Structure 1
Amino acid sequence: MDTSIVGVGVGITDRFRSVVEEKATRIEHLCPRAQTLDVKVTHRSYRNGRMEDEAVELTLTHKGPVVRAEAVDGDKFAALEKAVDKMAEQLRRAKEKRVDNRNHPRGAKFEKGSGALQGIDVQPASVDVIRAVATGSIPVVADGEEAPYSPVVIREKQFDAEWMTVEDAVDRMELVGHDFFLFIDARTDHPSVVYRRKGWDYGVISLATAAQPQAVAS
């Protein structure tokens, strides 16, 4: 696996290069088909230089989708350690899912002999429900009454807005086991959603309008 290191506003010492090479062996062990590992170190200053930190971005190219991880710390060695831990966790979860999918294939299976569907929970709707959906006459249920079964169910949930990077949103989505995750992009302030595509690829959709942080009541 080839390793490249780029510094933006910060010098790359021989000691840092040696640590990167050491950490690269851990990544290569988890991803034997890894081709390149790109390391970008950026020195960032805030509030007229009175606050500084180092951001380390890792980009791994291999036979599958590109894997990225990023971490920030006052020390670039600590930021590197955090970023490697994030990438290692992503690779470990991906490997476990591949093994699980091989051992327990998901999705419906059609039994030719019986004509039944196996591996999926399908409950046929009644004729009355189908007719109600087709005519738009789904009954309104008063408070305290039990709602009849309907294949059309709309559930509403509200969450507090969270600012994070796209990479962190992907990690959070994988952590909670969902196929998508809503967040506010910390780089653009745009409401966004990351989602899982085919295989181990991901996508992101963002609104053009920036979100405004909520005012904190005093």
Structure 2
Amino acid sequence: MEIVVTGRHTQIKQRFRDVTENKMNRVTAIAPDAQRAQVVVTHEGNPRQADTAKKVEITVIAGRTVVRAEASSTDEFSALDLALDKLTLRLRRSRDRRKDHRRGYTNPQPVDLGVVEPPAEPEEPAEEPSNSPADAVAGDLGPGESVEVQVGDTPIVIRRKLHIAEPMSIDEALYEMELIGHDFFLFVNKETNRPSVVYHRHGWSYGVFEIDTPENVEKSK
């Protein structure tokens, strides 16, 4: 498995790289088909946040499955341990789910079609804003690519990203959301062919939000 360790606002010491490569054996033991692991260490410079001064994000790609986990602590080593604990738990769930599907068993998740609550945007690497509105067209981006555009002379920055969404069921979308550790997941509902979002509300309660145009709704009547 390829392991890539990078730092944001911090230098990565060789000792941390060595420890990371050694501890990532836990990943290959659970997911032998894992091809790549991206480990990102972020330093928080605010002294008031010393307890979470180091954040470690781990993203593992195993076949078509992407599993992600992150954790913060006083130092990068303890943050790595916490993130790995979360990651290995999600990898075990993924492995067990594949076993259940091979047996012909699926475990549906409860879905609550409630009032949509705006999900939090996941933190991602900062990028240099562009001043050209044309650069913000998602159609000009490649899969996974993103761009930031500053609105005139205002401090407002709009970030756009192209996400390739494969058609899937609501249950599959909930599963993918849990694997990457986000509060929401964007997908195309294969039953309705509509752009949709599943999101976590509270406890074991989830919601799903679908988008359509008035014209399409009228046609379907």
SS at match of 1:84: helix
Residues 78 and 8 (structure 1 numbering): CA distance in 2 closer, same or farther, change over 3 Å? same
The answer as to whether partners of 1:7 and 1:42 remain within 8 angstroms in 2 is: yes
Q: Which runs of 5+ in 2 are unaligned?
A: 124-171, 190-195, 200-221
> CA RMSD for the aligned pairs?
3.9
**Aligned pair partner of 1:194 in 180, 185, 192:** 185
1:1-218 correspondence runs (5 A): 1-46=1-46, 49-52=47-50, 53-106=53-106, 165=122, 179=174, 193-194=184-185
Aligned residues: 135
Q: Given the two structures, how large is their TM-score scaled by the length of structure 2?
A: 0.49
Task: From the CA coordinates, give the structure whose radius of gyration is larger.
Answer: 1
Aligned structure 1 segments of 4 or more residues deviating by more than 2 angstroms: 49-52, 104-107, 155-166, 177-180, 192-198, 203-206
Q: Structure 1 counterpart of 2:49, which letter? A: M
Q: Which runs of 5+ in 1 are unaligned?
A: 108-154, 167-176, 207-218
Structure with the larger strand share: 2
**Superposition deviation, residue 33 in structure 1:** 1.0
SS at match of 1:90: helix
Deviations 1:110-167 (A, max 9, x none): xxxxxxxxxxxxxxxxxxxxxxxxxxxxxxxxxxxxxxxxxxxxx886899997958x
Q: Identity rate of aligned residues, in percent?
A: 31
SS at match of 1:78: helix
Larger RCO (CA under 8 A, 6+ residues apart): 2
Distance 2:188 2:30 in 1: 23
Q: Structure 1 counterpart of 2:174, which letter? A: D
The answer as to whether partners of 2:100 and 2:106 remain within 8 angstroms in 1 is: no
Deviations 1:41-62 (A, max 9, x none): 010133xx34331010111122
